């Protein structure tokens, strides 16, 4: 393992110290481990808190700022945050209008956010939870913990964040977040496994000519192993899986997302194939985003996310955002 670290045990805390130094517009609590807008809490504004394991940067800490999240709780690498941490972040952003928790559907995230929401409710804070479960690679929910939350998390944070920024009420912010999730589907491929600093070696071995299809964002193997094929064919398979799982009659927002170890030249090549294939299938692209946004450490791979967007979602997508990882119109 070759990584720019000092000690595997201190990676998250030392990275947070770096975030604090690089972004004076954010406030970072190194002890409780959360990142919050420097102007929080904002009276009367619904607070948005998300979080999950570290290793998915810029998700979630990189999306804290006006127009998106009010706070993020990074857990240990690939390990969800703990209830105390989520509660501290929730209290830090509560401006009296309630707080929305945006939670990816992974067992640990769900449990820790559930416990934190109970604790926050005990302290008189209204909490609504938006559960993100967009990964269509997981088919049968009676045999699994349900579909995972992956790329659509970014769309939920952007669109619900814009709704909160313009003064939406707690129920409205949660409702648009849930609507985005319901209308989103994602599928990912991994070319290589990621390496966690604690483990020191890749999460799985993969022969040079094989890939993992249907991976999540925690370095775990996917649904099946396949032979590497040209990008065009992989894009077609992934898009077909998404289009088969969900209905996309209207225009879509497309996210072509790198998993941390894939260069932009490949992601743009993929976007070109996505645009062409969607055109062939009669699906209109309203907005698109290409880059590394929801990553899995240094995993080489990519995920595709489609969200069938209403005019309201597109308006909120276009609204200003000013965060370290996503910024436009402001």
Handedness of CA 15, 21, 23, 25 (dihedral sign): positive
**Binding residue for another protein, selected from 47, 59, 68, 79, defined by CB under 8 A:** 79
- Asked if residue 32 binds another protein (CB under 8 A), the reply is no
For another protein, which is the closer residue by CB, 47 or 214?
214
Scan residues 46-75 and list those touching another protein (CB under 8 A). 53, 75
**Residue 320: CB atoms within 10 Å:** 12
For another protein, which is the closer residue by CB, 98 or 219?
219
Report the half-sphere exposure of 149 (CA within 13 A, side-chain side). 30
- Asked if residue 198 binds another protein (CB under 8 A), the reply is yes
**Binding residue for another protein, selected from 19, 50, 57, 76, defined by CB under 8 A:** 76
For another protein, which is the closer residue by CB, 75 or 251?
75
- Asked if residue 158 binds another protein (CB under 8 A), the reply is no
- Segment near another protein (CB under 8 A); pick from 125-133, 192-200, 231-239, 310-318: 192-200
Residue with tokens 């450490």: 297
Q: Which residues contact 324 (CB under 8 A, 6 or more apart)?
A: 19, 22, 23, 26, 58, 61, 62, 63, 64, 65
Scan residues 124-143 and list those touching another protein (CB under 8 A). 138, 143
Question: Least distance to another protein from the beta carbon of 85, Å?
Answer: 8
Distance CA 241, CA 128 (A): 31
Rounded (to 5) percent helix, strand, coil in the chain: 35, 25, 40
- Residue 124 DSSP symbol: T
Draw the binding track, 200-219, toward another protein (x: CB under 8 A; -: no contact).
---xx-----------x-xx
My answer on whether omega of the bond before 212 falls inside 30° of 0, hence cis, is no
**Binding residue for another protein, selected from 83, 151, 161, 325, defined by CB under 8 A:** 83
Decide: helix, strand or coil at residue 238: helix
- Asked if residue 37 binds another protein (CB under 8 A), the reply is no
Question: Least distance to another protein from the beta carbon of 1, Å?
Answer: 13
Q: Give the catalytic positions in this structure.
A: 56, 218
Distance CA 150, CA 134 (A): 6
Determine the distance from the C-alpha atom of residue 183 to the mean position of all C-alpha atoms in its chain, rounded to a whole number: 15
- Segment near another protein (CB under 8 A); pick from 89-97, 125-133, 168-176, 195-203: 195-203
**Binding residue for another protein, selected from 58, 61, 62, 108, defined by CB under 8 A:** 108
**Binding residue for another protein, selected from 1, 145, 264, 330, defined by CB under 8 A:** 145
Burial environment of residue 309 by CB neighbours within 10 A (0 to 12, 13 to 18, 19 or more): buried
CB 319 within 8 A of CB 285: no
- Asked if residue 196 binds another protein (CB under 8 A), the reply is yes
For another protein, which is the closer residue by CB, 92 or 217?
217
- Residue 230 DSSP symbol: -
H/E run at residue 288: strand 285-291
Which parts of this chain interact with another protein (CB under 8 A)? Answer: 53, 75-84, 106-108, 111-112, 115, 138, 143-145, 148, 196, 198-199, 203-204, 216, 218-221, 223
């Amino acid at each position: 393992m070759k990584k720019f670290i000092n000690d595997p045990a201190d990676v998250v805390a030392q990275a947070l110290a770096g975030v604090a130094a690089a972004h004076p517009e954010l406030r970072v609590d190194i002890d409780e481990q959360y990142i919050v807008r420097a102007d929080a809490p904002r009276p009367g504004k619904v607070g948005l808190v998300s979080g999950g394991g570290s290793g998915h940067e810029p998700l979630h800490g990189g999306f804290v700022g006006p127009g998106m999240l009010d706070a993020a709780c990074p857990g240990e690498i690939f390990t969800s945050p703990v209830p105390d941490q989520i509660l501290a972040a929730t209290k830090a952003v509560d401006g009296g209008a309630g707080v929305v928790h945006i939670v990816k559907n992974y067992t640990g995230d769900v449990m820790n956010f559930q416990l934190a929401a109970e604790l926050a409710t005990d302290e008189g804070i209204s909490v609504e939870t938006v559960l993100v479960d967009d990964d269509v690679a997981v088919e049968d929910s009676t045999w699994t913990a349900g579909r995972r939350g992956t790329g659509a998390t970014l769309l939920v944070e952007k669109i619900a964040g814009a709704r909160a920024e313009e003064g939406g009420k707690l129920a409205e912010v949660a409702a648009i977040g849930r609507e985005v999730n319901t209308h989103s589907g994602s599928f990912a491929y991994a070319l290589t496994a990621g390496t966690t600093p604690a483990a020191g070696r890749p999460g799985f071995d993969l022969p040079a000519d094989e890939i993992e299809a249907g991976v999540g964002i925690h370095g775990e193997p996917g649904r099946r192993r396949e032979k590497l094929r040209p990008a065009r064919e992989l894009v077609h398979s992934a898009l077909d899986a998404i289009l088969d799982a969900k209905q996309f009659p209207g225009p879509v927002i497309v996210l072509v997302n790198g998993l941390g170890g894939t260069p932009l030249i490949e992601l743009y090549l993929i976007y070109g194939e996505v645009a062409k294939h969607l055109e062939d299938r009669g699906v209109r692209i309203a907005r698109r985003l290409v880059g590394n946004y929801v990553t899995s450490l240094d995993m080489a791979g990519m995920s595709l996310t489609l969200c069938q967007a209403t005019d309201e979602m597109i308006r909120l997508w276009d609204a200003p955002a000013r965060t370290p990882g996503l910024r436009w119109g402001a």
